[in-house]
Chains A and B, each alone.
Chain A
Amino acid sequence: QKEVEQDPGPLSVPEGAIVSLNCTYSNSAFQYFMWYRQYSRKGPELLMYTYSSGNKEDGRFTAQVDKSSKYISLFIRDSQPSDSATYLCAMSALGNYGQNFVFGPGTRLSVLP
């Protein structure tokens, strides 16, 4: 089993739809949970981060963490064509030299006008 698994996609939705992106993980030591957005031929851009279980909202984006189920989600409301990108989940745990990051493989999202 991979340490972090992510819905493979690609995902195609109409403009205005609610999008749900999901990741599962196996390491219960993960403390910080992040979502990155990566446009084609660009580096990943940090969207949101959360610590431990719960929800965090930022505009049209909501990040949800359920540590008991080892499951995190990113919800996008009123999706826009500009949201079309690859979304990467990431999580970190404290290692010998600081936080160790693990990234999911990404889900490619297309929002159609």
Chain B
Amino acid sequence: SAVISQKPSRDICQRGTSLTIQCQVDSQVTMMFWYRQQPGQSLTLIATANQGSEATYESGFVIDKFPISRPNLTFSTLTVSNMSPEDSSIYLCSVELGGRYEQYFGPGTRLTVT
């Protein structure tokens, strides 16, 4: 398994500002993922981040709104830009170990936009 930490654990932000969420893993991993989980909703994949290449975004998510960095094999950041109340959600990073069916999640960042 992997130990994954996220910072911040929660934040309350004003409309129009940006927040950068950090994800740190205790081992080197190739694939890292960023998800959004809204209350009562499924986990929705935002993007896949491979070290050394551009992140791959899912339909409905764009780089200008959710820029991602992946500077090394243990760290990634997700920025939520120009926030609106609709961005209020839990943001989760996960990593893939072994096969793609084995994902481990961080504790999440609870974001509230006012």
Give Cα A95–Cα B77 distance, bound, in whole angstroms: 25
- When each residue 54-90 of chain B gets 1 if its CB lies under 8 Å from chain A and 0 otherwise, what string results? 0010000000000000000000000000000000000
Shortest CB–CB separation between residue A7 and chain B, in angstroms? 14
- Residue numbers in A under 8 Å from B112 (CB-CB): none
Give Cα A32–Cα B102 distance, bound, in whole angstroms: 10
Give Cα A90–Cα B45 distance, bound, in whole angstroms: 12
User: Is the pair B105, A45 in contact by a Cβ cutoff of 8 Å?
Assistant: yes
- Secondary structure call for the B interface: strand
User: Is the pair B107, A42 in contact by a Cβ cutoff of 8 Å?
Assistant: yes
Q: How many residues in B have their beta carbons less than 8 Å from beta carbons of A?
A: 23
> Looking across the interface, which residue of chain B has its beta carbon closest to that of A89?
B42
- Residue numbers in B under 8 Å from A43 (CB-CB): 4, 92, 94, 105-108
- Residue numbers in B under 8 Å from A97 (CB-CB): 48, 56
The 8 closest A-B pairs by CB, nearest first: A99-B100, A43-B105, A32-B101, A103-B43, A103-B42, A105-B42, A44-B105, A43-B107
